[in-house]
Amino acid sequence: MAPNTKVVYPGQMNSTLVIQSLISGVMMGSVYALLGVGFSLTWGVMKVINVAHAAFGLLATFMAYSLLQAYGVDPVASLAITIPLLYFGGCILYRTLLIRITSAKAVIVSSMILTFGIAIILENGMLLVWGADPRLLTTSYTSKVFVVGPFYFQYPPLIGFVMSIIGVMTIHLFLKRTYVGKAVRAAWQQPEASQLCGINLRRISTITFGLAVATSGAGGVGMGLLYSFEPHSHNLWLIHLFLVVIVGGVGNVLGTALAGLIIGIITGLSMAFLPYQWVNLLTFGLLMIILVVRPQGLFQSEV
Amino acid sequence: MLETKNLSVSYGKLRALSDVSIGINKGDFVALIGSNGAGKSTLINAVSGLVSIDSGSVVFEGATISGMSPDSIAAAGLIQVPEGRKLFARMTIEENLQIGAYLPAARRNYLRNLGRMFELFPRLKERRRQMAGSLSGGEQQMLAISRALMSEPKLLMLDEPSLGLAPIVTLEIFKILQELNGNGLTILLVSQEVLQSLKITRRAYLLENGHISLTGSSTDLLGDSRVKESYLGL
């Protein structure tokens, strides 16, 4: 063996490998965060657990796929069409179906049952239109890499990462800085008092739900840039959403984002050093520990 | 300006208000007194549209408002300061005042009104960036009143503004209400502080078991032997 060559054995500690795993973990986690913020928002503020959230995201992924195949539209650009569509879809869904359960005593449970039904309809709709084959969002930059020193950044996760930062910050700033965003926070902190200030609760609920569903589109495209997908993929995504939102604290946008990053880092690192089948055990073991030790999540609701 | 006509409200089978008729004129300062559970909060919540009514009606400035949603009633200029203040605790003082000015007409005058509130309650100005939940009880009540005033009310209804406050703070709040009325604001004050409320208001209604049992000028009620015995402990 030449004296200057280092042999890296699989599983051996190596700082480049650690940092590389950190990078891919952060990118992966950021996309979970993006998919999770809307889920966290409806759960935290409206007490609606939208089980169909990931299915809506997946719908946007499939639409991006079709637009890419048929017209060569970049998946990120396709969001210009899918985000408004999902927003209005979410608003209509709220006005027609969800509004009927908002006065129920157990909104959380009723909303899960209702949106589970919607998820099934969406899933089968996608199955009907796109079939059961796994798809990939293959763009001109899919296999492109950006190299910095010994580290490499793949383009698709990098784009997902940037999209996540923009998406999460947009929702965060919307809630903190805009008048309507403040009204959303007020309405969910004190529903009665907010009405006494002239806030129309139905309008605010519709906007909140529409926005949450709209963000799932960006998250779905982010997921599609990272992984292959088929009409059932949203179930797997959903499990990760629960993980991210519970760890981050329901209703906390930045907490959800941070939780996404933490989980991404843990997943990334464990993928580098553990056999693959142990990765989920580790992340979901973490979920169980958090549920026992800190059931309100790591961060408090900011809404 | 405001009139309830034979208003009846019940919670399930329990009747909370029966045939309550009250009237408030422009510029009036009216007290609604009575013991705990007499139906005072129910009455103003029915007026605000938070509680649905069985029969009767509420007329505000010539228009029937009973059956309208709470936000439309607020938009008509009928603003309530709710019992327990119900502030947006995880929002700053300034944000609470912004939500107070949510109605389009009020939003246009936001800066002018904000200046007035800070003049009225200088302590709120010092703490404008603090969370509302971090304020003391008295300051919270001041914020609740300011939030309501930010909506530019035609008629301000206050539900137990002195609840849980030290006597000196109560006096301060009542003095401000007197000042506001002096500047032309119509006020309906709901309070268990019978003596204090009758001292500062012009007219009063006594609510007992969901009925109006006595009405007249506040000075008359102060002199009434029943009021003296049951509510003033004299």
B176-204 tens-digit pLDDT: 999 999 999 999 999 988 999 999 999 99
Cα A189 → chain centroid: 24
pLDDT attached to residue A9? 53
- Contact call for residues B199 and B218 (beta carbons, < 8 A): yes
Query: Interface pTM (ipTM) of the complex?
Result: 0.93
Please give the single-letter amino acid code of residue A4: N
pLDDT surpasses 70 at A161:
yes
The closest CB to that of B95, out of A182, A190, A194, belongs to: A182
Structure confidence by residue, pLDDT tens digits, B81-121:
999 999 999 999 999 999 999 999 999 999 999 999 999 99
Query: B127 to each of A222, A275, B77, B147, how far by Cα in Å?
Result: 42, 55, 28, 15
Backbone region of residue A215 per phi and psi (left: phi > 0; alpha: psi in -120 to 50; beta: other values): alpha
Question: Could you count the other beta carbons within 10 Å of the beta carbon of residue B92?
Answer: 17
The whole-chain average pLDDT of chain A stands at 90
Nearest to A152 by CA among A10, A296, A24: A24
The whole-chain average pLDDT of chain B stands at 94
Chain A with chain B: Cβ pairs closer than 8 A: 70
pLDDT surpasses 70 at A4:
no
Q: What angle do CA A113, A116, A118 make, to 5 degrees?
A: 115
DSSP B107: H
Q: Can you list the domains of chain B with their CATH numbers?
A: 2-77+153-231 (3.40.50.300), 90-152 (no CATH)
Cα A191 → chain centroid: 27
- Classify burial at B189, counting beta carbons within 10 Å of its beta carbon; exposed 0-12, middle 13-18, buried 19 or more: buried
Strands B186-191 and B29-33, sheet pairing? parallel
What lies within 8 Å, CB to CB, of B188 at 6+ separation is B2, B24, B30, B31, B32, B44, B155, B156, B157, B158
Structure confidence by residue, pLDDT tens digits, A64-99:
999 999 999 999 999 999 999 999 999 999 999 999
Interface of B with A (CB under 8 A): 48, 50, 69-71, 74-75, 79-80, 82, 86-91, 95, 98-100, 102-103, 106-107, 147-148, 151
Pick the residue of B68, B73, B102, B147 with the most A CBs within 10 A to test the interface with A by mutation: B102
Please, which residues 180-239 of chain A have a Cβ atom closer than 8 Å to chain B?
A: 182-183, 185-186, 189-190, 192-201
Where do the structural domains in chain A lie, given as residue ranges? 33-293
| Residue-by-residue DSSP string for chain A | --TTPPP--TT---HHHHHHHHHHHHHHHHHHHHHHHHHHHHHHHH----TTHHHHHHHHHHHHHHHHHHH---HHHHHHHHHHHHHHHHHHHHHHTGGGTTTSTTHHHHHHHHHHHHHHHHHHHHHHHH-SS-B----TTTT-EEEETTEEEEHHHHHHHHHHHHHHHHHHHHHHHSHHHHHHHHHHH-HHHHHHTT--HHHHHHHHHHHHHHHHHHHHHHHHHHS-B-TTHHHHHHHHHHHHHHHH-TT-HHHHHHHHHHHHHHHHHHHHHS-GGGHHHHHHHHHHHHHHH-TT-SS----
